[in-house]
C-alpha cells in the first residue's frame, strides 16, 4: 500500500507541473480558503451564529421577514472580517495573478480578502456572490462601498440609501437569488478557456459556482482540488489534494525567483 505522505507528495508534484505548464488558469475559491484567516465557513463546526444556520439568514425571505436580524448578522460578519487579514494562500494566488497574464481568480467569498491581497495591481478577482463591504439600496439599486459597523438595534438605525432614503441591504447574492449575469458569463468564459481549474476550499454544493469546474473539465481542461475533506467534486478531479489551503497553495504556486528576492532581500 502507498504511504499517504508519499501519495500526497506525488500529487503535489504532479499538480505543480500542471500549474506550471498551464497558459490559462482559473482559481475558484470558497469559504475554506479564508478559514485560516479566521473567517468561519458556513458548513464547518463554527458555522452557526447564535442559533441560526446561514441558510436561514442569507435569503430574501429572511430579510423581508426581519431585516434587523439579518443586518445584525451581517454587521457581526463585517466586524469579524475587518479583523482578518489575507493568509499565505490568498497571497500566493495574488502574486500568481499579478505575474501570469492568463491567471484569474473567481471567488464565492464575500470577505474581500482576495481583493485585499491583490492590492491595486493585477486583475480584480471576480466576486460571484458579492461583498460584505458593499451595501445596496432595495429601492433604487444604488450600491456603495461600506465598511461601517452596522447599528442593528432597531429598524430606525439600519443603513439607508443617501439618494432616496430607501432601506439598504448587504450587496451579496442570497440563497435563491440569481448571480449578476455579467459576472457569471465572465466566470464561465474563464472556466471554459482554462487549462487548469484549481478549486480551493469549497464544499462544491452551491450552484452555479460549483459547476464551473465541470465547465473546465468538459472543455478538456484539468481540475485540481485542494480541500481538507472530500466533496462532490473530488471524484471528477484530475488531482484531489487533501490538505489546508495555507499549507498547499504556496507549494502549488511557488513565488518566482525575482519575487522571492524582493521578499527576502
Ligand atoms: P462551505 O462553508 O460550504 O465549505 C467550506 C469548504 O472548505 C468545505 O468543503 C471544507 O472542507 C473546506 N475547508 C475548510 N477549511 C479549509 C482549509 N483550511 N483549507 C482548505 N479547505 C478547507 O463554503 P462554500 O463552498 O464557499 O459555500 C458556501 C457559501 O457561503 C458561498 O456561497 C460563500 O459565498 C459563502 N460564505 C463565504 C464566506 C467568506 O466570504 N469567507 C464564509 C462563509 C460562507
Ligand atoms: Zn436608493
Residue whose CA is closest, atom 15 of ligand 1?
32
Evaluate the CA torsion angle 243, 46, 86, 21 in order and state its sign: positive
Catalytic residue, chosen from 24, 90, 114, 129, is: 129
158 and 265 assigned to the same domain: no
69 and 142 assigned to the same domain: yes
241 and 167 assigned to the same domain: no
Q: Which of 29, 30, 108 maximizes ligand 1 atoms within 8 Å of its Cβ, making it the mutation to test the pocket?
A: 30
191 and 224 assigned to the same domain: yes
Round to whole Å and give the CA distance between 74 and 92: 28
Round to whole Å and give the CA distance between 240 and 186: 25
Instruction: With cut-offs at 50, 70 and 90, classify the pLDDT of residue 111.
Output: very high
Domain count, the chain: 2
Q: What is the pLDDT of residue 264?
A: 45
pLDDT digits (tens, 9 = 90+) for 127-182: 999 999 999 999 999 999 999 999 999 999 999 999 999 999 999 999 999 999 99
Does any ligand 1 atom lie closer than 6 A to the CB of residue 131?
no
Yes or no: say if 26 and 106 are a contact pair by the CB < 8 Å rule. Answer: yes
123 and 185 assigned to the same domain: yes
Concerning whether 264 is annotated as a catalytic residue, the answer is no
Residue whose CA is closest, atom 39 of ligand 1?
109
Instruction: With cut-offs at 50, 70 and 90, classify the pLDDT of residue 256.
Output: confident
User: Of 236, 230, 240, 241, nearest to 216 (Cα)?
Assistant: 236
**Ligand of minimum distance to the alpha carbon of 46:** 1
DSSP three-state, residue 74: helix
Structural domain containing residue 252: 1-39+85-129+179-265
10 and 114 assigned to the same domain: yes
> Residue 48's domain is classified under what CATH number?
3.30.1600.10
116 and 137 assigned to the same domain: no
Burial classification of residue 243, based on how many CB atoms lie within 10 Å of its CB (0-12 exposed, 13-18 middle, 19 or more buried):
middle
Does any ligand 1 atom lie closer than 6 A to the CB of residue 86?
no
159 and 53 assigned to the same domain: yes
DSSP three-state, residue 101: coil
User: Of 212, 182, 190, 188, nearest to 200 (Cα)?
Assistant: 212
Q: Which of 27, 29, 42, 179 maximizes ligand 1 atoms within 8 Å of its Cβ, making it the mutation to test the pocket?
A: 42
160 and 256 assigned to the same domain: no
235 and 151 assigned to the same domain: no
Amino acid at each position: 500500500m502507498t504511504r499517504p505522505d508519499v501519495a500526497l507528495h506525488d500529487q503535489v508534484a504532479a499538480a505543480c507541473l500542471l500549474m506550471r505548464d498551464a497558459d490559462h488558469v482559473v482559481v475558484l475559491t470558497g469559504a475554506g480558503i479564508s478559514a485560516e484567516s479566521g473567517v468561519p465557513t458556513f458548513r464547518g463546526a463554527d458555522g452557526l451564529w447564535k442559533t441560526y444556520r446561514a441558510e436561514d439568514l442569507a435569503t430574501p425571505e429572511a430579510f423581508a421577514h426581519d431585516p434587523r436580524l439579518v443586518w445584525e448578522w451581517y454587521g457581526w460578519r463585517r466586524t469579524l472580517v475587518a479583523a482578518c487579514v489575507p493568509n499565505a494562500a490568498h497571497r500566493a494566488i495574488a502574486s500568481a495573478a499579478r505575474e501570469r497574464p492568463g491567471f484569474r481568480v473567481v471567488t464565492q467569498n464575500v470577505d474581500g480578502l482576495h481583493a485585499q491581497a491583490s492590492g491595486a495591481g493585477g486583475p480584480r478577482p471576480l466576486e460571484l456572490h458579492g461583498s460584505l463591504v458593499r451595501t445596496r439600496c432595495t429601492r433604487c439599486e444604488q450600491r456603495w462601498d461600506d465598511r461601517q459597523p452596522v447599528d442593528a438595534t432597531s429598524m430606525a438605525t439600519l443603513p439607508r440609501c443617501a439618494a432616496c432614503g430607501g432601506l439598504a441591504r448587504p450587496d451579496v447574492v442570497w440563497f435563491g437569488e440569481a448571480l449578476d449575469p455579467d459576472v457569471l458569463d465572465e466566470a464561465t468564459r474563464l472556466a471554459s478557456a482554462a487549462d487548469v481549474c484549481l478549486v480551493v476550499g469549497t464544499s462544491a454544493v452551491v450552484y452555479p459556482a460549483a459547476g464551473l469546474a465541470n465547465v473546465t473539465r468538459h472543455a478538456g481542461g484539468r481540475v485540481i482540488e485542494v480541500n481538507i475533506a472530500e466533496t462532490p467534486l473530488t471524484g471528477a478531479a484530475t488531482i484531489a489534494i487533501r490538505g489546508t489551503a495555507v499549507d498547499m497553495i504556496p507549494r502549488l504556486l511557488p513565488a518566482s525567483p525575482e519575487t522571492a528576492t524582493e521578499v527576502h532581500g
